[in-house]
Amino acid sequence: MAIKVLMPALSPTMSEGVINKWMVKVGDNVSAGDVIAEIETDKATMEVEAVDEGQITHIIKSSPSDSIKVNSVIALIDGKKDEKIEDYNNLTLNKKNEDLNSSKNIKNQSSYSKENSDENIVFKDNNKFLLASPLVKKISKENNIDLKLIKGSGPHGRIIKRDLKQNKDSFNDENKTIIEPSSIRKIIAERTTRTKNEVPHFYLTIETRMDRLISLRNKINISSKIKVSFNDLIVKACALAIKKNPETNVSWINNKIYKYKNIDIAIAVALKEGLITPIVKNADKKGLFNISLEIKELVKKANQNRLLPDEYNGGSITISNLGMFGITEFQAIINPPQSSIIAVGSILKKPVIYKNKLDIGHVMKSTISADHRSLDGAVAAKLLKDFNDILEDPFQIWLNSNDMEVI
């Protein structure tokens, strides 16, 4: 009996993946644990291993633009010659060009005039036809025009030559280049759009005096070989704030609230292909130096595509810091199934009122985006307030870092 190799679920939110590269070919003999393919997900590129020994007899035909659903058969080991992968799961690839000759299409076309015949159809999307005349299709092909960007003014929205002239900025522009996004970028686009539409976000912003934290960081970095960043301090402060507010350490999954015992903090890391959020686990129990070293290692592995699923799945909150780019304030999109994300801006020097006197101080703005299904406004506000208080009185960070000496 054939041994099935399935598209693995590499994260709780993964619904499909893309086969980036096959490491074997039909006829190769493999052993259990051999890497046979590279899979691109919404978060990373991972390796797929053979589940048993035998000969690769079938490999699914797909291109880098095809997304394959989780648990679909992608290869067979020791399969019979007359077997087909499609027989196992009726696998349907999400191809760019769908079949235009289905009965439903024919039924829809029957209500159109001759000008909407097959030769005028460019493609079908969500049961809607994009119509264009043969001349328009010829011009668009010659000038590399994306007809999806053109609004047709002809019958039934048909694109005619006049529409191309009115939208001439869409083509014949040497300054424009059409870039095909990577598979990861497509998945990120799909996930963030769905998240923004389905998750009820609300936002709270607070301004924090950072002078004491700056002083603490300077003392630490002068006296220690391990240099800590503001982000290290922020991650530790966030973990301690959640410890004070355990009702915020939750996720919303399948209409249920899951409450976590461990405090795991995700950090947003920008990669060339997109964004990934490695996890600092048990951050409340770890010392500041350990957190600093762990974050450096996670960022290094993320940039080398070496993160394991266990290193970027989980957590109830993410820290996204754009302060190094001079961004003073922003709102971030929640990373489901997490319930919140704190967007951290840059530290600014500005006039402040301190003890009823005008002073010059350093301030930073933080904005929490929270999922209203699992967190109410007052609960998220208290978390943000405690986060603020810890940063303004960083002695709490030092007190809860058992790997730091007296400074």
pLDDT digits (tens, 9 = 90+) for 326-364: 999 999 999 999 999 999 999 999 999 888 899 999 999
Nearest partner of 40 among 13, 74, 16, 24, judged by Cα: 16
**Structural domain contains residue 407:** no
Task: Using DSSP bridges, classify how beta strands 275-276 and 269-270 pair: parallel, antiparallel or unpaired.
Answer: antiparallel
Report the pLDDT value the prediction gives residue 212, as an integer from 0 to 100.
96
The answer on 258 and 313 residing in a single domain is yes
State residue 109's pLDDT score: 41
Do 78 and 115 belong together in one domain?
Answer: no
Query: Is residue 261 predicted with pLDDT exceeding 90?
Result: yes
Residue 373's pLDDT is: 97
Residues 236 and 384 in one domain: yes
Q: For residue 257, is pLDDT > 80? A: yes
405 lies in some domain: no
pLDDT in tens, 116-168: 444 455 544 444 556 776 677 777 777 777 777 787 776 667 787 777 766 66
Catalytic residue among 156, 201, 362, 372: 372
**Category of 80 on φ-ψ map: left (φ > 0), alpha (ψ -120 to 50) or beta:** beta
Q: Going along 121-163, which residue ranges are E strands?
A: 121-125, 128-131
Residues β-bridged to residue 269: 276
Whole-number pLDDT of residue 172: 52
pLDDT number for residue 400? 81
Q: Is the domain of 111 the same as that of 53? A: no
Arithmetic mean of pLDDT over the chain: 83
Under a CB-based contact definition with an 8 Å cutoff, are residues 58 and 80 in contact? no
Among candidate residues 91, 149, 102, 143, the one with its CA nearest the CA of residue 124:
102
**Average of pLDDT values for 209-232?**
95
As a whole number of angstroms, the distance between CA 384 and CA 172 comes to 51
Q: Let me know whether 289 and 330 are in one domain.
A: yes
Query: Which residues lie below 8 Å from residue 359, measured CB to CB, with a gap of 6+?
Result: 351, 352, 353
Per-residue model confidence (pLDDT) at position 169: 55
Q: Band of the pLDDT at 280, cuts 50, 70, 90? A: very high
pLDDT at 114: 41
274 and 143 in one domain?
no
Q: Is the pLDDT of residue 94 over 70?
A: no
Residue 404 CB partners (closer than 8 Å, separation 6+): 220, 224, 287, 288, 289, 398
If one counts the domains in the chain, the total is 3
Q: Are residues 131 and 53 in the same domain?
A: no
171 pLDDT higher than 60: no
186 in a structural domain: no
Residue 98 forms part of a structural domain: no
pLDDT value of position 315: 92
> What pLDDT, on a 0 to 100 scale, did the predictor assign at position 61?
79
Burial 168-188 (b: 16+ CB within 10 A, else e): eebbeeeeeeeeeebbbebbb
This prediction has a pTM of 0.67
Give SS3 for 203: strand
Kindly state the percentage of the chain with pLDDT values over 90: 50
- Shared domain for 244 and 345, answered yes or no, is yes
347 and 237 fall within a common domain: yes
Q: Using the predicted structure, report yes or no on whether residue 407 has a pLDDT greater than 70.
A: no
Q: Which long-range contacts (CB under 8 A, 24 or more apart) does 255-263 make?
A: 257/374, 258/337, 260/316, 263/239
Report if residue 46 sits inside a domain: yes
Range 46-71 average pLDDT: 82
What CATH code is carried by the domain that includes residue 279? 3.30.559.10
pLDDT at 210: 97
Which has the higher per-residue pLDDT, 342 or 69? 342
In a domain, 192, yes or no: no
Confidence of residue 92 (pLDDT cuts 50, 70, 90): very low
From 89, 116, 134, give the residue that closes a domain: 89
Do 68 and 107 have their domain in common? no
pLDDT of residue 303: 92
Structure confidence at residue 312 (pLDDT): 93
- Check pLDDT > 60 for residue 376: yes
pLDDT at position 339 is 97
By C-alpha distance, which of 160, 155, 156 is closest to 129? 156
Residue 155 placed within a domain: yes
Considering the domain architecture, whether residues 311 and 363 belong to the same structural domain is answered as yes
The CATH number of residue 41's host domain is 2.40.50.100
Cross-strand partners of 371: 201
Report yes or no on 73 lying in a domain: yes
Mean pLDDT over 18-23 rounds to 88
Q: What is the mean pLDDT of residues 246-271?
A: 96
Q: What is the pLDDT of residue 130?
A: 67
- Of 19-28, 57-66, 161-170, 287-296, least confident by mean pLDDT is 161-170
pLDDT of residue 99: 43
Look at residues 152, 170, 188 and tell me which one is the last residue of a structural domain.
170
Q: How many CB atoms lie within 10 A of CB 342?
A: 25
Domain that holds residue 24: 3-89
Q: Around Cβ 16, how many Cβ atoms within 10 Å? A: 19
- Catalytic annotation present for 58: no
**Which of the listed residues 170, 186, 213 is the one where a domain comes to its end?**
170
- Range 210-214 average pLDDT: 97
Residues 38 and 12 reside in one and the same domain: yes
Residues 264 and 315: beta-carbon distance below 8 Å: yes
Q: What CATH code is carried by the domain that includes residue 126?
A: 4.10.320.10
Distance CA 315, CA 379 (A): 18
Percent of the chain at pLDDT exceeding 70 = 83
